[in-house]
């Protein structure tokens, strides 16, 4: 029986939605679940934008709330959530997932709705003009939200995210100054190896399910430090670095080449790879790993990390690439749900003494 406050139920089939828009179909309600509630008449959407929660201000009291609204006659909950998200936030590029159903009893009157989670990638110009004062981002306290209700919705979505997310750590390790004739056999120095150990001890890289690396020796050895032994590292050829050309380029020519490649993903030199080629193989390999829902570490190269970030986070250019490759090492954590990146965090960089 619905009591004062809020009660959560498994989601209905008609509220399922994928990353590209409303669709039908959802997992069945499991044994022991609460009896399904009456049909939903409203939707509420917990939103993330640029890795922070996004709220709207509402009412004369100017309180913060998550976007929500009524389901129109003939409209599915998924369709309503899609419409409300665009209307209330100006979302242009986004992904939307159903979380569950919920029942509310306020002042003795019951109502039922569908709870969704949205990850917004970009907004239209509308919120920056007409709605700017209605959007709020950043850290808030429970007192900033309407008492209890919205805090419980946020906690429910956070628990749902924890259950479904997969973490991918992308690691680029710096090189030693002496370059061998075969770049693939460029080793990881003892000093670099000790720095990797120190970083792992201080980081949150715990309970990883898989360890993967480019076929290049320095990456295999770097990931082996995290895995405990090189035998535990699976080498994936698709994570190899981009081939520049059949011949070596002087630094000045390489910088011009790099800039042009990031401006034109199809551009390549004779015998070399385009960034489009690099993106296609590396993203496909990453999605295959994500299908298993694992938390994984991948040791790879700056060009591969760059195209992955550009593909999933929609932003990465030659300036970002130059900044990445000039660091001794680079680690970034990406959080995925159903193959969609919902969060990105640059980890504390390694220092290999260069």
What CATH code is carried by the domain that includes residue 136?
3.90.79.10
Domain-embedded: residue 354: no
Q: Kindly state whether residues 155 and 261 are assigned to the same domain.
A: no
Is 212 within a domain? yes
- Regarding whether 137 and 23 lie in a shared domain, the answer is yes
Question: Among residues 130, 164, 198, which one ends one of the domains?
Answer: 164
Mean pLDDT across the stretch 143-150?
A: 60
Decide if 353 is inside a domain: no
Q: Are residues 240 and 119 in the same domain?
A: no
For residue 77, being part of any structural domain is answered with: yes
Quick one: 218 and 258 in the same domain? yes
pLDDT at 61: 57
In a shared domain, residues 10 and 152:
yes
C-alpha of 297 from chain center: 15
Residue 352's pLDDT band (boundaries 50, 70, 90)?
Answer: very low
Confidence of residue 308 (pLDDT cuts 50, 70, 90): very high
Residue 302 in domain? yes
- pLDDT one-digit tens code per residue, 113-142: 999 999 998 888 654 434 444 566 555 544
CATH number at residue 239: 3.40.50.1240
Query: For 18-32, 138-152, 286-300, which range has the lowest pLDDT when averaged over its residues?
Result: 18-32
Residues 157 and 286 in one domain: no
- Give the pLDDT score at 59: 63
Q: Which of 105, 134, 164 is the endpoint of a domain?
A: 164
Q: In this structure, are 132 and 185 located in the same domain?
A: no
Q: Show which of 164, 189, 218 is a domain's final residue.
A: 164
160 and 170 in a single domain? The answer is no
For the purposes of burial, counting CB atoms within 10 Å of the CB of 30, is it exposed (0-12), middle (13-18) or buried (19 or more)?
Answer: exposed
Q: How many domains does the chain have?
A: 2
Q: How does 191-206 read in b/e, with b if 16+ C-beta sit within 10 Å?
A: ebbebbeebeeeeebe
My answer on whether 231 and 95 are in the same domain is no
Contact (Cβ atoms closer than 8 angstroms) between residue 114 and residue 11: yes
My answer on whether 140 and 285 are in the same domain is: no
pLDDT higher than threshold 50 for residue 18: no
**Residue 348 confidence (pLDDT):** 62
Instruction: Judge contact between 96 and 45, C-beta under 8 A.
Output: yes
What is the model's pLDDT at position 70? 93
Q: Do 225 and 132 reside in the same domain of the chain? A: no
108 and 206 co-located in one domain? no
Residue 144 has pLDDT above 80, yes or no: no
Q: How far apart are the first and last CA of the chain?
A: 65
Segments forming the whole domain that contains residue 318: 166-346
């Amino acid at each position: 029986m619905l009591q004062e406050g809020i009660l959560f139920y498994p989601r209905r089939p008609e509220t399922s939605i994928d990353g590209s828009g409303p669709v039908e179909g959802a997992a069945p309600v499991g044994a022991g679940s609460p009896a399904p509630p009456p049909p939903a008449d409203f939707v509420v959407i917990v939103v993330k934008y640029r890795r922070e929660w996004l709220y709207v201000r509402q009412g004369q009291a100017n309180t913060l709330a998550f976007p929500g609204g009524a389901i129109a006659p003939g409209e599915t909950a998924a369709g309503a959530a899609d419409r409300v998200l665009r209307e209330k936030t100006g979302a242009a590029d986004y992904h939307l997932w159903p979380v569950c159903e919920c029942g509310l009893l306020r002042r003795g009157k019951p109502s039922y709705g569908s709870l969704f989670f949205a990850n917004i990638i970009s907004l239209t110009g509308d919120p920056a003009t007409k709605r700017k004062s209605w959007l709020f981002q950043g850290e808030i306290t429970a007192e900033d939200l309407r008492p209890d209700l919205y805090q419980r919705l946020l906690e429910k979505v956070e628990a749902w995210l924890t259950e479904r997310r997969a973490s991918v750590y992308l690691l680029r390790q710096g090189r030693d100054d002496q370059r061998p004739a075969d770049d693939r056999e460029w080793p990881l120095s003892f000093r670099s190896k000790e720095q990797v150990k120190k970083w792992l001890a201080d980081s949150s890289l715990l309970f990883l399910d898989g360890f993967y690396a480019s076929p290049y020796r320095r990456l295999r050895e770097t990931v082996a430090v995290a895995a405990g032994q090189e035998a535990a590292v699976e080498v994936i050829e698709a994570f190899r670095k981009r081939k520049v050309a059949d011949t070596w380029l002087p630094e000045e020519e390489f910088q011009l080449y790099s800039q042009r490649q990031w401006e034109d993903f199809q551009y390549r030199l004779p015998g070399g790879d385009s960034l489009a080629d690099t993106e296609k193989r590396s993203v496909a390999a990453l999605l295959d790993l994500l299908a298993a829902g694992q938390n994984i570490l991948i040791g790879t190269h700056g060009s591969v990390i760059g195209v992955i970030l550009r593909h999933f986070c929609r932003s990465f250019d030659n300036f970002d690439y130059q900044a990445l490759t000039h660091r001794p090492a680079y680690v970034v954590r990406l959080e995925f749900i159903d193959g969609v990146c919902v969060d990105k965090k640059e980890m504390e960089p390694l220092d290999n003494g260069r």
